[in-house]
Structure 1
């Protein structure tokens, strides 16, 4: 299930598995706000929620101008949108009987996975970048996760080795192009549900885009609501990628299901990705478009949000940067801001630390830590 479709995937492209539902069984009043807090409100259109939640979701829509709203995902328990994904992904790990979860992350995903693993009573191994900000390293470790730095080229092979040798459940992609967790991405649908419950279907939604999991989840959520007759349209969805990378834009320009690029320097490290995935391409070509934004444009948007009382990391400002870069569509527009500003990389030198790029070295440290 986590390796992509065994029939359609190739050595160049991994096609993800997608969750389907019996939509005819959905009871009336889906958008009426019934149910417990967090994602439990939307449980009838989510995979089984075996893991306990932390009150994720129900983030505010903050108006910052005429018909412009910020969906502030920093109000989630670990201050990012990843909490929606990890409630569902940790539930899959619990349902599978795994002893722990493993994740490769530069920050938000790792911290969130660590929190939801702790909440579910699972161990957690986080492989992070060698230049992850010290505050984010401390944040990931605060939940008891075992955090290891590794060079970018080594993280996917190491994650595969961890899964193979420990039986931990992976909650990030191990495939040649990005697939992501089939249950985890379903959590992002709830952003669409919440927006629709608050203001209906907007004219457009702009969002930061790296691998494109958020883009796909929001697209699927609005597509479901329209299919069920709960909204009158699917909004235009605009994927906003760093100009230093942009694998989704490259895939669309080249007519590919997914593409690889060589990233340049960017401070928007959370969304500067070398590889894209088919999910993102499907969403962008079905109901929207993709665009690149520069660090300068993101910094201007970050400053704009700061003046509105919203402190966000640079990557989280990409959606507003995309809106500012072109003519706004008529009607309400939502820009998704994905995470808190404390996750930005600080200026100046960073403390060094031991890194791992082989399974043997990492295995020794895991044994020393008592993980395996």
Structure 2
């Protein structure tokens, strides 16, 4: 059985439907306003769904994959599990999304893909575009990390450094003029690509296969696509009678912005905020999207704002357990530690590798050891050895 996708539906009004093709990358044209863009969602013929979830409950995937998914669920301590998404091909959760979005580009016969990203999303989009034989343009912020640029260019991507406020307008113009398929948001509040969160559903399928339904899932959150995708996956499992409930979805945002926290507090579909200083740049955002609100409300979850010190403490805790994550990737565990003990098993999603940390986080080179006395001093200073 192939994909059972039958169309797109508006999240602004689920009664409104659209054909499956083309993907509505500008959100719902009937419910969106000048201030709020409502995403559209992929709908399926659930009545025909059998035992196999793949590829039935994913959109059509004409682009070849890179072995994404099936990442390990590591028990950090009794009842606390880490879903380690750094084990994906480009070392982040974005590979699940881009298998779907680049497939959409192939499906519509696009000349290539364009993405606005300074990190994980851009690297992943470039890799999957290369795999599909498509050119890729990545629009970064004004000062991209040298390692990120090298990563992008290794896949043959065209890299453009642009002031933050100019990234989305330039992406829209490139898409229109060059016939490229946009694989990140183009709208006033975040909608993202309709096929993207479908890839994230597979995280829920894998957690359920390994653990059943946890009490809560703590998710590093920028725009809320990952949060929503995991929630949708569990919602589908419940709809199909495989899970009794959906876990509480806990969004963990950098305190330097936290637009979803604001949107939920004010009861609005999306919010704009000023962005402060943070080293969790890959999930900090001045605007939220309606998907995050839906995921939290429908699961009786909540949104948390975590500080950089809390993120660093969580990152260090994961490292002591053998898991090296990007600072932003530790936000799920930081949220759990900030909230306090939760009864029942919980899952913290770790989104990306520590290799994605800013260059300023790089450790200095060790001194060259030339004699035993110097080696002994280093060993003793570590606190692990008595010589």
TM norm structure 2: 0.86
Q: Give the match for residue 242 of structure 1.
A: 254
Moved over 3 A (4+): none
3-state DSSP class of the match of 1:253?
helix
2:164 aligned residue (147, 152, 164) = 152
3-state DSSP class of the match of 2:68?
coil
Q: Partners of 1:338 and 1:306 in 2: how far apart?
A: 14
Indicate if the aligned counterparts of 2:280 and 2:308 stay in contact, CA closer than 8 A. Answer: yes
Q: Give the match for residue 4 of structure 1.
A: 27
3-state DSSP class of the match of 1:179?
coil
Q: Note the aligned Cα RMSD (angstroms).
A: 1.1
Indicate if the aligned counterparts of 1:51 and 1:94 stay in contact, CA closer than 8 A. Answer: yes
List per-residue Cα deviations over 1:151-197 (Å, max 9, x = no partner).
11000000011011101000000100000000111100000000001
Q: Partners of 2:130 and 2:113 in 1: how far apart?
A: 10
3-state DSSP class of the match of 1:347?
helix
How far the C-alpha of 1:131 sits from its partner, in A, is 2.5
- The answer to which of 340-349 and 72-81 deviates more is 340-349
From the superposition, tell whether residues 52 and 160 of structure 1 become closer, same or farther in structure 2 (CA, over 3 Å).
same
1:52 aligned residue (49, 57, 64) = 64
Indicate if the aligned counterparts of 1:132 and 1:345 stay in contact, CA closer than 8 A. Answer: no
Indicate if the aligned counterparts of 1:133 and 1:344 stay in contact, CA closer than 8 A. Answer: no
Q: Give the match for residue 164 of structure 1.
A: 176
Q: Partners of 2:64 and 2:52 in 1: how far apart?
A: 24
Indicate if the aligned counterparts of 2:248 and 2:296 stay in contact, CA closer than 8 A. Answer: no
Q: Give the match for residue 174 of structure 1.
A: 186
How far the C-alpha of 1:29 sits from its partner, in A, is 5.1
3-state DSSP class of the match of 1:173?
coil
Q: Give the match for residue 72 of structure 1.
A: 84
Indicate if the aligned counterparts of 2:201 and 2:229 stay in contact, CA closer than 8 A. Answer: yes
Q: Partners of 2:239 and 2:50 in 1: how far apart?
A: 14
Q: Partners of 1:251 and 1:151 in 2: how far apart?
A: 26
Bigger radius of gyration, 1 or 2? 2
Q: Give the match for residue 348 of structure 2.
A: 335
1:318 aligned residue (325, 328, 331) = 331
Q: Partners of 1:131 and 1:63 in 2: how far apart?
A: 37
How far the C-alpha of 1:80 sits from its partner, in A, is 0.2
Q: Partners of 1:28 and 1:302 in 2: how far apart?
A: 38
Q: How many residues align?
A: 338
Q: Partners of 1:245 and 1:315 in 2: how far apart?
A: 13
Structure 1: gaps (5+ residues): 31-41, 350-372
2:74 aligned residue (54, 57, 62) = 62
1:22 aligned residue (41, 45, 70) = 45
**Bigger RCO (CA 8 Å, 6+ sep):** 1
Q: How does 1:101-180 map to 2 (within 5 A)?
A: 101-180=113-192
Structure 2: gaps (5+ residues): 1-23, 363-387
3-state DSSP class of the match of 2:55?
helix
Check if 1:98 corresponds to 2:110.
yes
How far the C-alpha of 1:116 sits from its partner, in A, is 0.2
List per-residue Cα deviations over 1:313-369 (Å, max 9, x = no partner).
1000000000001222211110000001111112299xxxxxxxxxxxxxxxxxxxx
Q: Give the match for residue 347 of structure 1.
A: 360
1:302 aligned residue (300, 306, 315) = 315
Q: Partners of 2:303 and 2:240 in 1: how far apart?
A: 27
Greater fraction helix: 1
How far the C-alpha of 1:130 sits from its partner, in A, is 1.8
Q: Give the match for residue 378 of structure 2.
A: none
